[in-house]
Structure 1
Amino acid sequence: MRVAMISMHTSPLEQPGIGDAGGMNVYVRNVASHLASHGVEVDVFTRATRASQGEVVEVEPGFRVINCVAGPFEGLAKESLPTQLTAFTGSVIAFVRAEAARRSDVPETACTRTGAGIYDLIHTHYWLSGQVGWLLRDLWGVPLVHTAHTWAAVKNLGLADGDTPEPESRRICEQQIIDNADRIIVNTDEESAAITAAYDADPERLAIVAPGVDIERFTPGSDRATERARRELGIPLRAKVIAFIGRLQMLKGPHILLRAAAEVIRRHPGQNIRVVICGGPSGTGLERPDELHDLAAELGVTGYVRFLSPRPPEELVTVYQAADIIAVPSYNESFGLVALEAQASGTPVVAARVGGLPLTVTEGESGLLVDGHDPSVWAEALEKLVIDDDVRIAMGAAAPAHAAVYSWDVTVERMQAVYDRALGDGAAESSDRVPHGVPLH
């Protein structure tokens, strides 16, 4: 099987935690890698952002990243990317047309203007890619599978203070994708119910496939490993460490953690509490990149807070192991990969009861769930685990077993089953749906 995977707005090779790179990048890279290990050839098409990237990056056998030129390499905000959908689609078609001409295993008749015959299926990620995939699906006559990661209508129901609502134009584009994709992959039952209500999605075309976690990389650390991690990060060995890992924007709620932690620090000065915030500005956070530093100063806790730059997965495990608690105060989270990685690393989680987090975190066993985003309520939840060492340690010990239920191998096995169903009943229907004004020959 050959799959054209489209991730227009961000590359799976980008560092998560910087700009628009986050959980979706982790998801796409791991899915593509594990599909390749299962014998599926995957090309991930993304927008080129640097001249030095090269057009084709061979990540591993069966998994390539194709950097497509669409607009300037730098200085193009995510909000402006819709203006480059045509350029990006044209770049994809040009590459695939040339690929069809090069490959000896593609019938000569397939070497058309569109490059039809190269791929068996298209899998798109995020709404921008979904719009591209919708066109390519009809040009190539193959099924379209879409994973949204976030939905405008769902995000707008749980905005953080100061966040900008997603535009109606995005919601309309998502509705078009819902109406035209052969399969929609969602993370949880809750996401399935939410988009059925918000977009009138057909339940028959929805497939629930939970993301996974790299349980070989994210593992519990020994006491010695924790000490070494804290030394490397400049954290006192005897401190109680509460960490946040993710993009620094209002939607992810790092300001909620800071306010709550400041309250716990005031109540318990003898507990030697430290806060670690690991990530880079993103979204609304780009407008005020020093906002969290200023908030820490305003709260009088600058000396208790350590800000770390984003780290690749092989280094990020050190942050998880150095922490006593991982806080996930997001306003919207389709699944919660950070919460899963934390538990795999043996660290309990305090998370908002939103999106997929109630599934990701087993309340009372591997962590705590908090209703709402009131800093005083969050302070009470954090306080419970900071003060009660026995409960916190027991949750940390139980957490890896919960995370082990989710693996990328299980994820891709279920995803392949979705692909097979789409190929079985969607290809013929897809080939009949030709948009007006787009020639096939």
Structure 2
Amino acid sequence: MLKRIAMLSAHTSPLEQPGDGDAGGMNVYVLELSRQLASRGIEVEIFTRATSRHQPQTVDAEPGIRVHHVAAGPFEGLQKNDLPSQLCSFVRDVLRAEVEREPGHFDLVHSHYWLSGQVGTVARERWNVPLVHTMHTMAKVKNAMLAEGDSAEPIGRIYGEEEIVRYADRLIANTAEERRELIEMYDAEPERVAVVHPGVDLEVFRSGRQAQARATLGVPDDAAVLMFAGRIQPLKAPDVVLKAAAQLLDRDPTLRGRLVVAIVGGASGAGLDQPTFLADLSEELGIRGVVRLVPTVSQAVLADWYAAASVVCVPSHNESFGLVAIEAQACGTPVVAARVGGLSTAVSDGVTGVLVDGHDPADYAAALHPLLTDPELRDAMGDKAVRHAESFGWDVTAERTLRVYEEAIESHRESQGEQQA
């Protein structure tokens, strides 16, 4: 029976606020999955890198969930690309967690993102337990879809991901498309790659409260609200939303008195180099008066913004899944998104939203305009969006993940038997 799991999230803590720095959908994934596992009586110990000397070494975040802040390199000032050089220190402290306990303390390791996967391959060998890995994003895929101003992922990451694919007992792909990429681009064995969609908290993200949310946020009742949520960096393409908004106002001047463009999130990655980029672009486009730049907010406030929105735009150059799209739909808001990665799964094209090929602002303006100006269309898509999102509850994700864990344990047991024979 599965009793205790080591969850590795090296570069970003699930306790950090999503939408700022490197915190995003993966943080939500790790925490929500851990909650589901803990509710089923499985203890989860999460290992993440300490980013402040003031953080306690361990935190009992919730019943059944313990977070270890591992000292690995300088606490402050390290960027994600600096972290590979600190993995030796991280591995040392993770392995020490087992040494200080009875043998067989952990039944399984689940690592998230390639940095954690590197640690996971060592823990798998030392602890003699199965390794399950979730990529979340992949270097080869990102490099094939680089946004202007973004840097290519380094070759060291590609080698690291290829090693993880070779050693992991099971790989979890967010979508069938990601599974195909793992098999075709990384030579993953098909029988070792399972598809498990991420979930959404259907209690936090709920529909039927647009008027209440608008009143809470100070948004006029009759506003046409175009929303973007996510980390502010070239990969997420928030500039496309602003450029599309400018074209919308040129195309339909009557929107100027009603349009509200809400950009919710904090700078990350290459976006840290230009912290005023979106404000400057808004001025340049002549739309600063309709744009609200909202810093990173809590999940509850984010849900209010989704509920208040007329349409949410997700024009990312790549998304392994696109949690924003599912969260928005759970709130009854249709989504206009790029036809890339997991967004093709997250959004039902023509039913719960619209998928757009490429990143031309004119194409997004054309897709957004009907949803901003036709209440009947918006309501019809919003109703279907809620039903679509209901199939992505975290309880479903947890049950499917547990099946993958069982397969990994059985596979690992068989491989150990073969080695001993």
**2:366 maps to 1:380:** yes
State the partner residue of 1:46. Answer: 48
Question: 1:181, CA displacement in angstroms?
Answer: 0.7
State the partner residue of 2:239. Answer: 255
Q: 2:396 aligns with which of 402, 410, 418?
A: 410
Structure-2 separation of matches of 1:40 and 1:383:
48
Root mean square deviation, CA, Å = 1.4
SS of structure 1 residue aligned to 2:110: strand
Question: 1:431, CA displacement in angstroms?
Answer: 9.0
Q: Give the letter aligned to residue 161 of structure 2.
A: E
Q: Give the letter aligned to residue 119 of structure 1.
A: F
Question: 1:372, CA displacement in angstroms?
Answer: 0.6
Structure-2 separation of matches of 1:231 and 1:342:
18
Structure 1: segments with no counterpart, 5+ residues: 101-105, 111-116, 434-441
Q: Give the letter aligned to residue 331 of structure 1.
A: H
**2:154 maps to 1:167:** yes
Q: Which residues of 2 match residues 289-438 of structure 1 at below 5 A?
A: 289-427=275-413, 429=415
SS of structure 2 residue aligned to 1:44: strand
Structure-1 separation of matches of 2:7 and 2:417:
19
State the partner residue of 2:225. Answer: 241
Q: Give the letter aligned to residue 134 of structure 2.
A: T
SS of structure 2 residue aligned to 1:21: coil
State the partner residue of 2:8. Answer: 6
Structure-2 separation of matches of 1:182 and 1:80:
28
Q: Give the letter aligned to residue 169 of structure 1.
A: G
Q: Is the 8 A contact 1:185 1:207 kept in 2?
A: yes
SS of structure 2 residue aligned to 1:51: coil
Q: Deviations over 1:367-418 (max 9, x none)?
A: 1110110111111111121222211111112211110011111111111111
Structure 2: segments with no counterpart, 5+ residues: none
State the partner residue of 1:282. Answer: 268
Q: Which residues of 2 match residues 62-211 of structure 1 at below 5 A?
A: 62-98=64-100, 100=101, 106=102, 110=103, 117-211=104-198
Q: 2:205 aligns with which of 218, 222, 234?
A: 218
Structure-1 separation of matches of 2:261 and 2:194:
38
Residue 193 to residue 42, structure 1, CA distance change in 2 (3 Å): same
State the partner residue of 1:229. Answer: 213
Q: Deviations over 1:16-71 (max 9, x none)?
A: 01100000000000001101111111101000112222111112221111111111
State the partner residue of 1:22. Answer: 24
Q: Give the letter aligned to residue 3 of structure 1.
A: I
Q: Deviations over 1:280-332 (max 9, x none)?
A: 00011001011111110110000010011111212211111111100000110
Q: Is the 8 A contact 1:142 1:431 kept in 2?
A: no
TM-score (normalizing by structure 2): 0.96
Aligned length: 415
Structure-2 separation of matches of 1:69 and 1:431:
36
Question: Runs of 4 or more off by more than 4 Å in structure 1?
Answer: 430-433
Q: Is the 8 A contact 2:224 2:373 kept in 1?
A: no
Structure-2 separation of matches of 1:232 and 1:218:
16
